[in-house]
Amino acid sequence: MVIMKIRYISILLFLFLIADSKAQVYQSSFRTDVVPLLTGAGLTGLSIILRNNANPATIEEINLLDTNNLNFLDRRAVNNFSSTAGFASDIVLYSSISFPFITYISKNCRSEGGVIAIMILETALINNGIVSVIKSSSNRYRPFNYNSDVPLIEKLSGESRRSFVSGHVGNSAALTYLTARVITDLHPDMNNKFLIWGTAAAIPALMGYLRVEAGRHFPTDVIGGYIIGAAVGYIIPSLHIKRNSNLSINTNGMSSLSISLKF
């Protein structure tokens, strides 16, 4: 455990050392990153505590579940249970993990690779932390628990009461929105930015559809996960935008010197 912590600290120190060496748009520093990193780590720790203390699914509670207690939007999901859709959603999730690293194809992005790597880490930590805390505290039964055709062993699994919110959708949205934000920030003059943002929005939407079809989530679960993930993925780069210095010094040869400070 100690060795693992040393490795993580070493990786972070390395990222901080290379982060701001060539960066023009983003910046990274201890003051900029300590709060997001500690927040993500704290949320992750809290979610583990909540999960370990969460009440497991019981046969009695499952037998009392009634679709009439669901809103009209969520009722359509109770009869869904597709292993194919579930497998497809896993593929989309694993693919989403690689999306932010696509930015490294661009020279503009490679020059700020250290900062981008730190933003990826912060985005993953914070989004996972928020989603996991909500899952572990809400204890909402998944849609398949309402389906009489689903085996009881599935309904009594450890994941049975972790429906709200969707982690698949949240993680996918966080990483695709982060990718779109980085690409458009570092290429301000690029054409067809709507294609980048359209793709970023469509991938987690597809994920949400698959998770509902798989019977793993209600529509409100995927909507909640989408909002959280998209917000985190968009906001994290905002915290790293370089601010123009308010202090400027201008010289005119050896004859004059002017200093201005903007408030």
Tell whether 186 is covered by a domain.
yes
Tell whether 30 is covered by a domain.
no
pLDDT of residue 254: 44
Tell whether 64 is covered by a domain.
no
* % of residues, the chain, pLDDT over 70: 84
- The answer to whether the beta carbons of residues 47 and 115 sit under 8 Å apart is no
Tell whether 191 is covered by a domain.
yes
Tell whether 141 is covered by a domain.
yes
pLDDT of residue 244: 62
CATH of the domain at 148: 1.20.144
CA distances from 31 to 28, 173, 239 (A): 8, 27, 11
DSSP annotation of 93:
H
Tell whether 113 is covered by a domain.
yes
**Residue 157 CB contacts under 8 Å (≥ 6 apart), including other chains:** 57
pLDDT of residue 32: 85
CA distances from 166 to 27, 88, 176 (A): 31, 15, 16
Tell whether 3 is covered by a domain.
no
Query: Residue for token digits 């690029």?
Result: 190
Q: For residues 46 and 160, what is the distance between their CA atoms, to the nearest angstrom?
A: 20
Q: How many domains does the chain have?
A: 1
Q: Which residues in the chain land under pLDDT 70? A: 1-23, 244-263
Tell whether 131 is covered by a domain.
yes
- The answer to whether the beta carbons of residues 216 and 86 sit under 8 Å apart is yes
pLDDT of residue 109: 87
**Residue 59 CB contacts under 8 Å (≥ 6 apart), including other chains:** 152, 156
pLDDT of residue 239: 93
Count CB-CB contacts under 10 A for residue 132. 21
Residue 219's domain comprises 81-263
Which pTM was predicted?
0.84
